[in-house]
Chains A and B, each alone.
Chain A
Amino acid sequence: MTRSLTTRRGILRGGATLAGAALATGAAGLLVPARAQGVAPTSSMRGGSNNYLPGAPVVERIGGGGFWMTGTVRRAGDGAPLKDIRIQIWAHTTEGHERDPHSHGATLTRADGTFRLEMPQIVPAFGQPHGHLAYDSRAFETVFLRPVMRSASDTSLSADFVLQPA
Protein backbone atom coordinates (compact mmCIF):
# COMPACT_ATOMS: atom_id res chain seq x y z
CA MET A 1 0.00 0.00 0.00
CA THR A 2 2.45 2.57 1.12
CA ARG A 3 4.97 1.20 -1.36
CA SER A 4 3.03 2.53 -4.32
CA LEU A 5 3.61 6.06 -3.08
CA THR A 6 7.34 5.67 -3.25
CA THR A 7 7.46 4.47 -6.85
CA ARG A 8 8.73 6.95 -9.35
CA ARG A 9 5.35 7.06 -11.03
CA GLY A 10 3.65 7.65 -7.69
CA ILE A 11 5.88 10.56 -6.91
CA LEU A 12 5.33 12.03 -10.35
CA ARG A 13 1.57 11.70 -9.96
CA GLY A 14 1.74 13.34 -6.54
CA GLY A 15 3.85 16.16 -7.94
CA ALA A 16 1.44 16.68 -10.80
CA THR A 17 -1.48 16.89 -8.39
CA LEU A 18 0.35 19.43 -6.27
CA ALA A 19 1.31 21.50 -9.31
CA GLY A 20 -2.28 21.39 -10.53
CA ALA A 21 -3.54 22.54 -7.16
CA ALA A 22 -0.98 25.35 -7.05
CA LEU A 23 -1.96 26.44 -10.56
CA ALA A 24 -5.66 26.44 -9.68
CA THR A 25 -5.02 28.47 -6.53
CA GLY A 26 -2.82 30.90 -8.42
CA ALA A 27 -5.38 31.33 -11.18
CA ALA A 28 -8.15 31.84 -8.64
CA GLY A 29 -6.01 34.49 -6.95
CA LEU A 30 -5.69 36.31 -10.26
CA LEU A 31 -9.41 36.12 -10.88
CA VAL A 32 -10.35 37.84 -7.60
CA PRO A 33 -11.46 41.34 -8.65
CA ALA A 34 -9.16 44.16 -7.57
CA ARG A 35 -10.64 45.39 -4.31
CA ALA A 36 -12.72 47.93 -6.12
CA GLN A 37 -14.06 49.71 -3.07
CA GLY A 38 -10.56 49.76 -1.57
CA VAL A 39 -7.51 51.85 -2.38
CA ALA A 40 -4.58 49.46 -2.01
CA PRO A 41 -1.84 50.41 0.47
CA THR A 42 1.54 51.51 -0.86
CA SER A 43 4.35 49.00 -0.30
CA SER A 44 7.85 50.08 0.61
CA MET A 45 10.28 50.36 -2.31
CA ARG A 46 13.58 48.49 -2.52
CA GLY A 47 16.33 50.51 -0.91
CA GLY A 48 13.78 53.02 0.39
CA SER A 49 15.06 52.91 3.96
CA ASN A 50 18.75 53.29 3.05
CA ASN A 51 20.49 55.90 5.19
CA TYR A 52 17.29 56.55 7.14
CA LEU A 53 17.84 58.48 10.38
CA PRO A 54 14.87 58.18 12.74
CA GLY A 55 13.35 61.32 14.21
CA ALA A 56 14.20 63.93 11.58
CA PRO A 57 12.84 67.26 12.87
CA VAL A 58 9.86 68.99 11.25
CA VAL A 59 11.41 71.93 9.39
CA GLU A 60 10.28 74.88 7.29
CA ARG A 61 12.81 73.92 4.66
CA ILE A 62 15.87 71.64 4.38
CA GLY A 63 18.98 73.80 3.89
CA GLY A 64 18.84 76.54 1.28
CA GLY A 65 15.98 75.08 -0.74
CA GLY A 66 15.37 75.44 -4.46
CA PHE A 67 13.90 71.98 -5.01
CA TRP A 68 10.42 70.73 -4.07
CA MET A 69 9.48 67.35 -2.69
CA THR A 70 5.71 66.96 -2.93
CA GLY A 71 3.12 64.25 -2.52
CA THR A 72 -0.09 63.03 -0.94
CA VAL A 73 -0.99 60.78 1.97
CA ARG A 74 -4.25 58.83 1.95
CA ARG A 75 -5.78 56.04 3.98
CA ALA A 76 -5.96 52.55 2.48
CA GLY A 77 -9.48 51.37 1.78
CA ASP A 78 -11.54 54.54 1.49
CA GLY A 79 -8.69 56.68 0.15
CA ALA A 80 -9.48 59.52 2.56
CA PRO A 81 -6.78 62.22 2.74
CA LEU A 82 -4.84 62.12 5.99
CA LYS A 83 -4.01 65.33 7.86
CA ASP A 84 -1.00 66.03 10.10
CA ILE A 85 0.90 62.95 8.99
CA ARG A 86 4.65 63.29 9.49
CA ILE A 87 6.66 62.48 6.36
CA GLN A 88 10.46 62.32 6.61
CA ILE A 89 12.55 63.24 3.59
CA TRP A 90 16.25 62.89 2.75
CA ALA A 91 18.46 62.74 -0.34
CA HIS A 92 21.91 63.37 -1.75
CA THR A 93 21.75 67.08 -2.64
CA THR A 94 24.00 69.96 -3.55
CA GLU A 95 24.36 70.51 0.20
CA GLY A 96 25.16 67.08 1.52
CA HIS A 97 25.25 63.29 1.35
CA GLU A 98 22.30 61.10 2.32
CA ARG A 99 24.00 60.16 5.57
CA ASP A 100 24.49 63.78 6.70
CA PRO A 101 21.92 64.70 9.37
CA HIS A 102 21.46 68.12 7.74
CA SER A 103 20.21 66.37 4.58
CA HIS A 104 17.19 65.10 6.57
CA GLY A 105 13.96 66.86 7.45
CA ALA A 106 10.26 66.22 8.01
CA THR A 107 7.00 67.91 7.16
CA LEU A 108 3.30 67.46 8.04
CA THR A 109 0.43 66.91 5.61
CA ARG A 110 -2.29 69.50 5.24
CA ALA A 111 -6.04 68.87 5.56
CA ASP A 112 -6.23 67.72 1.94
CA GLY A 113 -3.52 65.10 2.56
CA THR A 114 -0.87 66.89 0.50
CA PHE A 115 2.62 67.79 1.64
CA ARG A 116 5.45 69.81 0.14
CA LEU A 117 8.88 70.53 1.53
CA GLU A 118 11.53 72.72 0.01
CA MET A 119 15.04 71.27 0.02
CA PRO A 120 18.35 71.64 -1.85
CA GLN A 121 18.59 70.36 -5.44
CA ILE A 122 18.83 66.56 -5.58
CA VAL A 123 21.85 65.39 -7.60
CA PRO A 124 22.55 61.92 -8.99
CA ALA A 125 24.14 59.64 -6.40
CA PHE A 126 24.77 55.91 -6.59
CA GLY A 127 23.84 56.02 -10.24
CA GLN A 128 20.40 57.65 -10.10
CA PRO A 129 18.97 61.04 -9.08
CA HIS A 130 16.56 59.92 -6.36
CA GLY A 131 15.00 60.88 -3.07
CA HIS A 132 13.87 59.02 0.04
CA LEU A 133 10.64 59.43 1.99
CA ALA A 134 9.46 57.67 5.12
CA TYR A 135 6.29 57.33 7.12
CA ASP A 136 6.97 55.63 10.46
CA SER A 137 4.70 57.18 13.07
CA ARG A 138 3.06 53.97 14.32
CA ALA A 139 -0.65 54.79 13.68
CA PHE A 140 -0.20 53.25 10.25
CA GLU A 141 2.21 50.66 8.93
CA THR A 142 5.67 51.96 8.09
CA VAL A 143 6.37 52.80 4.43
CA PHE A 144 9.70 53.79 2.83
CA LEU A 145 9.69 55.22 -0.70
CA ARG A 146 12.57 55.87 -3.10
CA PRO A 147 11.27 57.80 -6.14
CA VAL A 148 13.67 58.41 -9.05
CA MET A 149 13.73 61.70 -10.99
CA ARG A 150 13.01 61.46 -14.71
CA SER A 151 15.88 63.85 -15.34
CA ALA A 152 18.70 65.08 -13.11
CA SER A 153 17.71 68.65 -14.05
CA ASP A 154 14.17 68.30 -12.60
CA THR A 155 13.53 70.72 -9.74
CA SER A 156 10.78 68.71 -8.08
CA LEU A 157 9.88 65.14 -7.26
CA SER A 158 6.69 63.63 -5.90
CA ALA A 159 5.67 60.50 -4.04
CA ASP A 160 2.26 59.32 -2.87
CA PHE A 161 1.50 57.25 0.21
CA VAL A 162 -1.55 55.10 0.86
CA LEU A 163 -1.24 53.98 4.46
CA GLN A 164 -2.61 50.84 6.05
CA PRO A 165 -3.83 51.29 9.65
CA ALA A 166 -1.46 49.42 11.94
Chain B
Amino acid sequence: MGRARAILLWAGFAAAVILPVAIAAASPLLAWRQPVYIAAGFAGIVALTVILAQPLLAAGRLPGLPAPRGRRIHRWTGAALVVLVLAHVGGLWLTSPPDVVDALLFTSPTPFSAWGVVAMWAILFAAILAALRRRLHLRPRVWRRAHLSLTLVIVIGSIVHAILVEGTMGTLSKWALCLLVLAATARAFADLRAWTLLRRRHG
Protein backbone atom coordinates (compact mmCIF):
# COMPACT_ATOMS: atom_id res chain seq x y z
CA MET B 1 0.00 0.00 0.00
CA GLY B 2 2.73 2.42 1.05
CA ARG B 3 4.83 1.44 -1.90
CA ALA B 4 1.98 1.72 -4.39
CA ARG B 5 1.12 5.11 -2.97
CA ALA B 6 4.72 6.25 -3.30
CA ILE B 7 4.91 5.11 -6.92
CA LEU B 8 1.62 6.83 -7.67
CA LEU B 9 2.76 10.08 -6.06
CA TRP B 10 6.06 10.07 -7.92
CA ALA B 11 4.32 9.26 -11.20
CA GLY B 12 1.93 12.14 -10.63
CA PHE B 13 4.77 14.49 -9.79
CA ALA B 14 6.74 13.39 -12.88
CA ALA B 15 3.69 13.92 -15.08
CA ALA B 16 3.11 17.38 -13.57
CA VAL B 17 6.67 18.33 -14.43
CA ILE B 18 7.11 16.61 -17.79
CA LEU B 19 3.72 17.19 -19.45
CA PRO B 20 3.71 21.01 -19.47
CA VAL B 21 7.28 21.05 -20.80
CA ALA B 22 6.51 18.42 -23.46
CA ILE B 23 3.36 20.25 -24.58
CA ALA B 24 5.30 23.54 -24.83
CA ALA B 25 7.98 21.72 -26.84
CA ALA B 26 5.28 20.95 -29.43
CA SER B 27 4.13 24.59 -29.68
CA PRO B 28 3.94 25.93 -33.25
CA LEU B 29 5.34 29.25 -31.99
CA LEU B 30 8.77 27.64 -31.65
CA ALA B 31 9.13 27.53 -35.43
CA TRP B 32 9.30 31.32 -35.50
CA ARG B 33 11.69 31.85 -32.62
CA GLN B 34 15.47 31.89 -32.45
CA PRO B 35 17.30 29.47 -30.12
CA VAL B 36 18.01 32.09 -27.42
CA TYR B 37 14.34 33.07 -27.25
CA ILE B 38 13.29 29.40 -27.12
CA ALA B 39 15.79 28.67 -24.34
CA ALA B 40 14.59 31.72 -22.38
CA GLY B 41 11.00 30.52 -22.61
CA PHE B 42 11.80 27.00 -21.47
CA ALA B 43 13.91 28.32 -18.59
CA GLY B 44 10.72 30.03 -17.40
CA ILE B 45 8.58 26.90 -17.79
CA VAL B 46 11.11 24.67 -16.01
CA ALA B 47 11.39 27.32 -13.27
CA LEU B 48 7.63 26.97 -12.71
CA THR B 49 8.02 23.20 -12.31
CA VAL B 50 10.81 23.79 -9.77
CA ILE B 51 8.41 26.09 -7.90
CA LEU B 52 6.08 23.07 -7.71
CA ALA B 53 8.87 20.89 -6.28
CA GLN B 54 10.05 23.42 -3.69
CA PRO B 55 7.17 23.25 -1.17
CA LEU B 56 6.92 19.46 -1.55
CA LEU B 57 10.64 19.11 -0.75
CA ALA B 58 10.50 21.60 2.11
CA ALA B 59 7.62 19.77 3.75
CA GLY B 60 9.04 16.32 3.04
CA ARG B 61 5.96 15.39 1.03
CA LEU B 62 7.77 13.54 -1.76
CA PRO B 63 7.95 9.83 -0.89
CA GLY B 64 11.45 8.75 0.09
CA LEU B 65 12.51 12.33 0.71
CA PRO B 66 11.48 13.16 4.28
CA ALA B 67 12.23 16.59 5.72
CA PRO B 68 16.01 16.46 6.32
CA ARG B 69 16.83 15.00 2.91
CA GLY B 70 14.08 16.92 1.20
CA ARG B 71 15.36 20.15 2.73
CA ARG B 72 18.87 19.49 1.48
CA ILE B 73 17.56 19.00 -2.07
CA HIS B 74 15.29 22.05 -1.59
CA ARG B 75 18.42 24.18 -1.20
CA TRP B 76 19.95 22.87 -4.41
CA THR B 77 16.73 23.18 -6.37
CA GLY B 78 16.42 26.69 -4.93
CA ALA B 79 19.82 27.53 -6.39
CA ALA B 80 18.71 25.98 -9.69
CA LEU B 81 15.63 28.21 -9.60
CA VAL B 82 17.84 31.30 -9.37
CA VAL B 83 19.88 30.12 -12.37
CA LEU B 84 16.69 29.40 -14.36
CA VAL B 85 15.20 32.81 -13.59
CA LEU B 86 18.43 34.57 -14.59
CA ALA B 87 18.52 32.51 -17.81
CA HIS B 88 14.86 33.40 -18.46
CA VAL B 89 15.40 37.15 -18.06
CA GLY B 90 18.85 37.10 -19.69
CA GLY B 91 17.62 35.18 -22.74
CA LEU B 92 14.66 37.52 -23.16
CA TRP B 93 17.01 40.48 -22.82
CA LEU B 94 19.18 39.12 -25.64
CA THR B 95 16.06 38.62 -27.76
CA SER B 96 14.56 42.07 -27.21
CA PRO B 97 16.44 44.39 -24.83
CA PRO B 98 13.88 47.23 -24.72
CA ASP B 99 11.02 44.90 -23.76
CA VAL B 100 13.03 43.53 -20.82
CA VAL B 101 14.16 47.00 -19.73
CA ASP B 102 10.48 48.10 -19.74
CA ALA B 103 9.58 45.07 -17.64
CA LEU B 104 12.36 45.64 -15.11
CA LEU B 105 11.40 49.32 -14.78
CA PHE B 106 7.69 48.44 -14.44
CA THR B 107 6.85 50.50 -17.55
CA SER B 108 5.90 47.55 -19.76
CA PRO B 109 2.54 47.64 -21.57
CA THR B 110 2.04 43.94 -20.78
CA PRO B 111 0.37 43.35 -17.41
CA PHE B 112 2.14 40.04 -16.77
CA SER B 113 5.63 41.56 -16.76
CA ALA B 114 5.30 43.27 -13.38
CA TRP B 115 4.12 40.03 -11.73
CA GLY B 116 7.10 38.19 -13.15
CA VAL B 117 9.57 40.86 -12.10
CA VAL B 118 8.18 40.96 -8.55
CA ALA B 119 8.47 37.15 -8.36
CA MET B 120 12.03 37.39 -9.69
CA TRP B 121 13.08 39.83 -6.97
CA ALA B 122 11.41 37.66 -4.34
CA ILE B 123 13.34 34.60 -5.62
CA LEU B 124 16.64 36.48 -5.62
CA PHE B 125 15.97 37.92 -2.17
CA ALA B 126 14.98 34.52 -0.79
CA ALA B 127 18.20 33.02 -2.17
CA ILE B 128 20.39 35.79 -0.75
CA LEU B 129 18.68 35.50 2.63
CA ALA B 130 19.15 31.71 2.59
CA ALA B 131 22.83 32.10 1.77
CA LEU B 132 23.38 34.66 4.54
CA ARG B 133 21.11 33.02 7.09
CA ARG B 134 23.94 31.76 9.33
CA ARG B 135 26.08 34.88 9.00
CA LEU B 136 23.15 37.10 9.88
CA HIS B 137 22.34 34.93 12.92
CA LEU B 138 18.67 35.05 12.01
CA ARG B 139 16.37 33.72 14.70
CA PRO B 140 14.40 30.71 13.38
CA ARG B 141 11.12 32.56 13.74
CA VAL B 142 12.37 35.59 11.82
CA TRP B 143 13.85 33.33 9.15
CA ARG B 144 10.65 31.34 8.76
CA ARG B 145 8.55 34.47 8.56
CA ALA B 146 10.79 36.01 5.89
CA HIS B 147 11.15 32.83 3.86
CA LEU B 148 7.47 31.93 3.89
CA SER B 149 6.41 35.51 3.07
CA LEU B 150 8.76 35.54 0.10
CA THR B 151 7.39 32.12 -0.90
CA LEU B 152 3.89 33.57 -1.08
CA VAL B 153 5.09 36.44 -3.30
CA ILE B 154 7.00 34.00 -5.53
CA VAL B 155 4.08 31.59 -5.92
CA ILE B 156 1.40 34.20 -6.57
CA GLY B 157 3.64 36.35 -8.78
CA SER B 158 4.79 33.39 -10.88
CA ILE B 159 1.30 31.95 -11.31
CA VAL B 160 -0.29 35.23 -12.42
CA HIS B 161 2.71 35.87 -14.68
CA ALA B 162 2.42 32.45 -16.32
CA ILE B 163 -1.37 32.53 -16.72
CA LEU B 164 -1.38 35.97 -18.40
CA VAL B 165 1.43 35.20 -20.85
CA GLU B 166 0.35 34.06 -24.30
CA GLY B 167 3.30 31.85 -25.10
CA THR B 168 4.35 28.32 -25.89
CA MET B 169 2.66 26.60 -22.92
CA GLY B 170 -0.61 24.77 -23.51
CA THR B 171 -3.55 26.48 -21.82
CA LEU B 172 -4.81 23.38 -20.00
CA SER B 173 -1.42 22.09 -18.82
CA LYS B 174 -0.45 25.60 -17.72
CA TRP B 175 -3.57 25.98 -15.59
CA ALA B 176 -3.11 22.49 -14.18
CA LEU B 177 0.51 23.14 -13.24
CA CYS B 178 -0.40 26.48 -11.64
CA LEU B 179 -3.20 24.89 -9.60
CA LEU B 180 -0.82 22.15 -8.47
CA VAL B 181 1.74 24.78 -7.40
CA LEU B 182 -0.99 26.51 -5.40
CA ALA B 183 -2.14 23.23 -3.82
CA ALA B 184 1.42 22.10 -3.01
CA THR B 185 2.19 25.46 -1.40
CA ALA B 186 -1.01 25.41 0.65
CA ARG B 187 -0.26 21.86 1.76
CA ALA B 188 3.30 22.69 2.77
CA PHE B 189 2.15 25.79 4.65
CA ALA B 190 -0.30 23.59 6.54
CA ASP B 191 2.35 20.94 7.24
CA LEU B 192 4.78 23.56 8.47
CA ARG B 193 2.07 25.21 10.57
CA ALA B 194 2.77 28.50 8.83
CA TRP B 195 -0.22 30.15 10.46
CA THR B 196 1.58 30.10 13.83
CA LEU B 197 3.83 32.81 12.41
CA LEU B 198 0.87 35.15 12.31
CA ARG B 199 0.45 34.91 16.08
CA ARG B 200 2.27 37.13 18.48
CA ARG B 201 5.32 35.63 20.07
CA HIS B 202 3.86 34.98 23.50
CA GLY B 203 0.23 35.58 22.63
Chain A residues near B (Cβ < 8 Å): 45-51, 92-95, 97-99, 123-129, 146, 152
Which of A47, A48, A49, A127 has a CB less than 8 Å from the CB of B167?
A127
Which of A48, A49, A124, A127 has a CB less than 8 Å from the CB of B112?
A127
| A127 and B96 contact, CB distance less than 8 A | no
| A152 and B102 contact, CB distance less than 8 A | no
> Cβ of B113: which chain A residues have Cβ within 8 Å of it?
127
Give the shortest distance, in Å, between A64 (CB) and chain B (any CB): 13
Complex interface residues of chain B between 21 and 66 (CB less than 8 A to chain A) = 29, 31-34, 37
> Cβ of B29: which chain A residues have Cβ within 8 Å of it?
123-124
Given A46-B107, A46-B108, A47-B109, A129:B98 Cβ within 8 A: no
A39 to B165, CA, bound (A): 35
Report the count of interface residues on B (CB-CB < 8 A): 22
Given A50-B99, A51-B98, A127-B164, A45:B109 Cβ within 8 A: yes
> Cβ of A123: which chain B residues have Cβ within 8 Å of it?
29, 32
Give the shortest distance, in Å, between B91 (CB) and chain A (any CB): 12
Given A126-B110, A146-B109, A97:B166 Cβ within 8 A: no
> Cβ of A126: which chain B residues have Cβ within 8 Å of it?
92, 96, 99, 110
Chain B residues near A (Cβ < 8 Å): 29, 31-34, 37, 92, 95-96, 98-99, 102, 107-110, 112-113, 164-167
> Cβ of B92: which chain A residues have Cβ within 8 Å of it?
126
Which of B33, B37, B98, B166 has a CB less than 8 Å from the CB of A127?
B166
Q: Which 10 A-B pairs have the closest CB atoms?
A: A46-B109, A50-B98, A127-B165, A47-B109, A124-B166, A126-B99, A123-B32, A127-B110, A94-B32, A47-B102
Give the shortest distance, in Å, between B88 (CB) and chain A (any CB): 12
Query: Can you sample 24 A-B contacts with CB below 8 Å?
Result: A46-B107, A46-B109, A47-B98, A47-B107, A48-B109, A50-B102, A51-B96, A51-B98, A92-B32, A93-B32, A97-B33, A97-B37, A97-B95, A97-B96, A98-B96, A123-B29, A124-B29, A124-B166, A124-B167, A126-B92, A126-B96, A127-B167, A128-B166, A152-B166
> Cβ of A93: which chain B residues have Cβ within 8 Å of it?
32
Give the shortest distance, in Å, between A27 (CB) and chain B (any CB): 29
Given contacts A124-B29, A127-B165, 7 further A-B contacts (CB under 8 A): A47-B109, A95-B32, A97-B96, A123-B29, A124-B166, A126-B96, A128-B110
| Number of A-B pairs, beta carbon distance below 8 Å | 56
Chain A: interface secondary structure?
loop
Chain A, Cβ-Cβ closest to B27: A124
Give the shortest distance, in Å, between B24 (CB) and chain A (any CB): 13
Chain A, Cβ-Cβ closest to B164: A127
A50 to B109, CA, bound (A): 11
Chain B, Cβ-Cβ closest to A121: B32
Chain A, Cβ-Cβ closest to B103: A126
Chain B, Cβ-Cβ closest to A95: B32
A124 to B99, CA, bound (A): 14
Most buried by A among B37, B99, B102: B99
